[in-house]
Amino acid sequence: MHVGELVFSQLMALLPWRRFETCVRRYAGERKVKTFSCGDHLRVMAFAQLTYRESLRDIETCLRAVKNKWHHLGLRGGVSRNNLANANHQRDWRIYADFAQLLIDEARSLYASEKWEIDLDATVYALDASTIDLCLSMFPWARFRQAKGAIKLHTLMSLPGSIPEFILISDGKMHDVNVLDHLVPQPGAYYVMDRGYLDFTRLYELQQAKSFFVTRAKKNLAFRRRYSHPVDKQTGVLCDQTIVLESFYPLQGYPEPMRRIRFCDPLTGKRLVFLTNNFDLPATTIAALYKSRWKIELFFKWIKQHLRIKAFYGTSLNAVKAQIWIAISVYLLVAIAKKRLGIPASLHTMLQILSVSIFEKTPLNELFSIQEHRSPPPPSPKPLLLFD
């Protein structure tokens, strides 16, 4: 029987704590702090994420019930509802944002060789945003509409490994397309977006940076066809054209030709029109790239269902941003553990197991190993003898 560290401690040991201390010093996170350090704050918030705690009182009650294990959890003391509320309100959220970026870099290197269904020797990103509704009376700073509050989670995700590489938390009023102003385009990379990001001036900046984009056209797009490429309609591709924009302002924003592909999904019969600045890939590959964008939709759905980013432990902007960044760090930590230990289970399965195994002392690689427990078949009854 293993008598070593708790599962929670083993998981926390995978974090680069020295680099976390660098982030803390960068923003003076422990100035005038005596009992509840930033490391304690991160551990307690990670515990709340992994065990699905619903409130500060819930966190305090659960941790006080196992106070004899605080040392083994890495907590030095001072865990109370008041200390946690003050930390959420006062500890600079940029500490946890910078630390999450360090985990993003590590996860990206671990998942760089991840196999993907599309054979493409380039980096492919999906860009999208998800709105998190808030109660306006409790979050007055998050005004979205007249009687509704919200924030937006803008995410750029690497598709092969489903690792978020850029995250921007904004108010609900920020339009999705404005996030393109915060990105640094990577030459040769593909950026897959829905038609909410159709801004020809910003798309032309991707073109000038030698990056590729794949997006959908709007119904009122005015263009002039220059050339039609031959297509095989049995693949679902209805047309493959080289076009030039006709409207004055779109043409000023994007003065060069682009590619327009009209595609009919063989399974659903839905017809889609794609725009891209890549003229080399087959039209079916462009359609497959856009179809792969559903992974970022699954990412938003996954973190909303399995992490605490829809209900918050604090009402200030700092508390909300800190909780979101710590939730992202927990997601990345589980993804890193999965890759480092070679765990075959899915992230959802790992989180479910962790939620009920935090205080066990089983090694992580054994905790997530898939074992089939088969009970032996019952012995067959001996036949009754009628005659001796």
- DSSP string over 157-209: EETTTTEEEEEEEEETTS-GGGGGGG--PPTT-EEE--GGG--HHHHHHHHHT
Dihedral Cα 103, 322, 309, 296, nearest 10 deg: -40
Q: Name the pLDDT band for 377 (thresholds 50, 70, 90).
A: low
Cβ neighbors of 367 (< 8 A, separation 6 or more) are 7, 353, 357, 360
- Residue 388, pLDDT > 90, answer no
- Taking the model in full, what pTM does it have? 0.86
- Which pair of structure tokens corresponds to residue 15? 């974090």
Q: Name the pLDDT band for 303 (thresholds 50, 70, 90).
A: confident
C-alpha 151/C-alpha 33 separation (Å) is 30
- Higher-pLDDT residue of 153 and 384 is 153
- Mean pLDDT, range 251-273, rounded to an integer: 92
- Mean pLDDT, range 129-141, rounded to an integer: 91
Q: Name the pLDDT band for 240 (thresholds 50, 70, 90).
A: very high
* pLDDT in the model for residue 348: 84
- Residue 386, pLDDT > 60, answer no
Residue type, 289: L
Helices (H), ranges, the chain: 7-12, 17-26, 38-51, 56-65, 70-73, 81-90, 93-110, 200-208, 248-253, 283-291, 294-306, 317-340, 347-357, 364-367
User: Average pLDDT over the chain, rounded to whole?
Assistant: 88
Cβ neighbors of 321 (< 8 A, separation 6 or more) are 93, 97, 169
* pLDDT in the model for residue 373: 38
Q: Which of 44, 43, 50 minimizes the C-alpha distance to 80?
A: 44
- Mean pLDDT, range 63-69, rounded to an integer: 89
